[in-house]
Amino acid sequence: MGRLDFDDLPGEREYSGSGADNQSTLTNVMFTDALVPRLSETGVTANAVHPGLVSTRFGVEDPVRAQRLLVPLLRPFMKPPAKGAVTSIYVATTFERGGSACYFTNKRPRKSSAASDDTAAAARLWQVSADLVGLPGIRERSPRTDAARPV
């Protein structure tokens, strides 16, 4: 459900916790997809993981009133933090992909959103991020194609 607003990536003009979380998930998938070809000759595997809806303090102080009201109602249906970590631990310790990017939730590869397949936005995000951290000369390689993503 994420979307990128390149004119306000840090959410300084308009912020909501759920919007930031959705954008963060989208950028994690895009960065993972862009990282894989850069690591292709290293044997390093890169995967994106979504823990699911986890009961944390997320949303408690959200400036969007609906978010602050909704989170307490959803809390009984949320995973405890230990269960939220299961997929990350699974992927980090038992899953080998040989460098292929994959998006995981509930210990299973899943198809990510259509927005994550926007290679032009992913390339722009990579470059904007590199510029922000002072690495404008990083090696440019295009993100993977849909055929490379196992689902």
Residue in 124, 10, 135, 11 with CA at minimum distance from that of residue 64: 11
Handedness of CA 61, 62, 63, 64 (dihedral sign): negative
The pLDDT, as a whole number, for residue 82 is: 92
**Whole-angstrom Cα distance, residue 30 to residue 121?**
9
**Domains in the chain: how many in total?**
1
Residue 9 lies in a domain: no
Sequence letter at residue 90: Y
Run of H or E residues at 42: none
The pLDDT, as a whole number, for residue 6 is: 87
Run of H or E residues at 90: helix 86-94
Mean pLDDT of 53-72: 72
Residue 1 lies in a domain: no
Mean pLDDT of 84-96: 85
Sequence letter at residue 95: F
Provide, rounded to the nearest whole percent, the portion of the chain with pLDDT above 70.
77
Residue 107 lies in a domain: yes
Residue 78 lies in a domain: yes
Residue 6 lies in a domain: no
**Whole-angstrom Cα distance, residue 9 to residue 60?**
22
The per-residue DSSP string of 103-134 comes to EEETTEEE---GGGG-HHHHHHHHHHHHHHTT
Mean pLDDT of 55-74: 72
The per-residue DSSP string of 47-85 comes to -EEE--SB-SSTTTT-SSHHHHHHHHHHGGGSBPHHHHT
Mean pLDDT of 40-58: 82
Residue 12 lies in a domain: no
Question: What domain range includes position 127?
Answer: 17-148
- pLDDT beyond 90 at 139: no
Residue 2 lies in a domain: no
The strand pairing partners of 105, in sequence order, are: 50, 108
The tokens of 65 are what?
Answer: 């009133």
Residue 8 lies in a domain: no
pTM more than 0.85: no
